[in-house]
Structure 1
């Protein structure tokens, strides 16, 4: 950086305040010392000296140590291992109404709400139970006991969390069947607990925070999905129709976003083939999934959207290429297959013509009957009732 001129010390200080790094930078220290020499007055010199003092303090502050290593053993070993599986930099906040922030884990534990699961992985099934006796909701529903319950002592509402022995991957890197099974289990538990279906699970009442009464079942080992499913009725989930399966709550949002996004990507990728096209393709997939996510009543976290988009973009870019598309067309559009499709189309057309001929014959018979009934003195309304057609149809027939 160029040595500041006597008239540029103040401008350099304002630029330093605007662009300063969170970590110590020796170049900033050298430039600050030069700027102090060219300070025009005492006020400017004092501001520069204070900035230099803050920079030296930052220099003395240790920078290493990761978020999880800065947690106490009480936090790491307690709370059913919650902080062992928590994200290293989770979303957190002291008031969800005013937004959320990404912070290191050792900072997030001081917030009243934090993200329970890392992006793309589900270690905990979490529910928001808005009842005054929410602590006992699992007993009334006949479910297994949750490892964690964080209760609001003012109204009795609580967040309950069940830890999974094997985390479920919520992106297409993992297998689809475990994800669908986890979604079915979560949906059934949601109904059994009469929990809030609009709760996204993105933020959980922070275990051990002073704002909540934390109930820990420390002697209970993590559950498998099969363990949780034993006390649930999954038949209602299995019998859902295709339209009902568009799920916008809990893990269903991940499945819905993934299913819609991947089907779009299978055809859309052909517009991005070319040199250095992957980065543009990944941005397009992320934008598409963000649009889908925005339609949910409670959207997923941006980190989950990006993780799913990355998985879809990588798989499609690797597996759907011009060569593979040409091979697919060659395998599915042989002369025999095309001839069979033509025969089917001809049969369908012939069936359509026959059906139209029958409809015309029926209509002609009804029209003739309508003329007979009007000669008998019936009104158009009465004729429509007799023939089970609209009155306007009868009027058109009699013109």
Structure 2
């Protein structure tokens, strides 16, 4: 089971020893020494549940659930992460089928409902590393098909939470608007902790995304879409953390300036800001792709930066120079 767990991870794994210090992609062999790691979000081999209750290592048995493959126990408070290993991973790439994804999400929700103390806001992204000496780990030689869980739990989907302000334009807009309005006041708590703020925004983004499971026929957004939105929101909010997040009067034009001249100057300024902002997003997207070990292509950058292929093409020479794509 240990070998399969290691094999399920990507070559570069996000990890940390404390979320206050932020997270970082590291090579797999180094990442496995950290207490917290991100298990594969594109090929989900494990169902992860966070049980925030003391003495919860054998709670699964009391409630008639199948034995988790790994029970990772915090020795300080005896809270646990349960990890059930699947025989076949559920694919969450663009080519992944919605039906098995929905089945996976239903099982995840049902397991959470079945366990007292299980955190309904936990999105199963970062887990306590079962190989870390920081925790105590109980192992069972068990793996499952999703259908196996139907013998133990009711996998009928239900609504987990109802606190989203839904945008009629869809999930991406709903995520963006709910996340940014959450981030604006929250950044005041992290004025001297940039890494901590980034981690907090990402966690909130994935928590919002988890609510799409029961509120949209299309289910949750892809991992990369959520991460891209989180990056955009955290970057903008951090740059403006000492302001009031409004652009009114940003050019500080004289009050007696004719309105037509103000409009002309404003249009020129807005175009300049938008162009620069788009270029920054494209460069940032390429930087993140490189850090993840993902090939930097015009298509991958456009998806990551959430912009059109044509916009990427207009800035492609700059990307090529900065990342030596043609060396």
TM range (shorter): 0.5 to 0.7
Alpha-carbon distance change, 132 to 291 in structure 1, aligned in 2, over 3 angstroms: closer
Alignment of 1:303-342 (within 5 A): none
After the TM superposition, list the runs of 4 or more consecutive aligned residues in structure 1 that deviate by more than 2 angstroms: 78-81, 240-262, 285-289, 291-295, 309-314
Specify which of 183, 196, 210 is matched with residue 252 of structure 1. Answer: 210
Equivalent residue, structure 2, for 1:234: 155
Alpha-carbon distance change, 286 to 189 in structure 1, aligned in 2, over 3 angstroms: closer
1:224 and 2:145 aligned: yes
Shift of 1:289: 5.8
Equivalent residue, structure 1, for 2:4: 81
1:106 and 2:29 aligned: yes
Is contact 1:148-1:216 (8 Å) kept?
yes
Once residues 109 and 208 of structure 2 are traced to their aligned partners in structure 1, the CA distance between those partners, rounded to angstroms, is 8
Q: TM-score, normalised to structure 2's length?
A: 0.52
Which protein is richer in helix relative to its size?
1
The alignment partner of 1:190 has SS state of: helix
Once residues 179 and 312 of structure 1 are traced to their aligned partners in structure 2, the CA distance between those partners, rounded to angstroms, is 25
Equivalent residue, structure 2, for 1:177: 99
Is contact 1:90-1:108 (8 Å) kept?
yes
Equivalent residue, structure 1, for 2:66: 144
Is contact 2:123-2:210 (8 Å) kept?
no
Alpha-carbon distance change, 171 to 186 in structure 1, aligned in 2, over 3 angstroms: same
Equivalent residue, structure 2, for 1:192: 114
Alpha-carbon distance change, 257 to 85 in structure 1, aligned in 2, over 3 angstroms: farther
Shift of 1:160: 0.9
Once residues 143 and 311 of structure 1 are traced to their aligned partners in structure 2, the CA distance between those partners, rounded to angstroms, is 43
Shift of 1:208: 2.5
Q: TM-score, normalised to structure 1's length?
A: 0.43
Is contact 2:102-2:219 (8 Å) kept?
no
User: Gaps spanning 5+ residues in structure 2: where?
Assistant: 172-205, 235-287, 310-327
Equivalent residue, structure 2, for 1:96: 19
Is contact 2:209-2:220 (8 Å) kept?
no
Alpha-carbon distance change, 310 to 157 in structure 1, aligned in 2, over 3 angstroms: same
User: Gaps spanning 5+ residues in structure 1: where?
Assistant: 1-77, 263-284, 296-301, 319-399
- Cα RMSD (Å) of the superposition? 4.2
Equivalent residue, structure 2, for 1:364: none
Equivalent residue, structure 1, for 2:229: 290
Aligned length: 204
The alignment partner of 1:90 has SS state of: strand
Q: Deviations over 1:64-97 (max 9, x none)?
A: xxxxxxxxxxxxxx53621121121100111122
The alignment partner of 1:199 has SS state of: coil
Alpha-carbon distance change, 257 to 312 in structure 1, aligned in 2, over 3 angstroms: farther
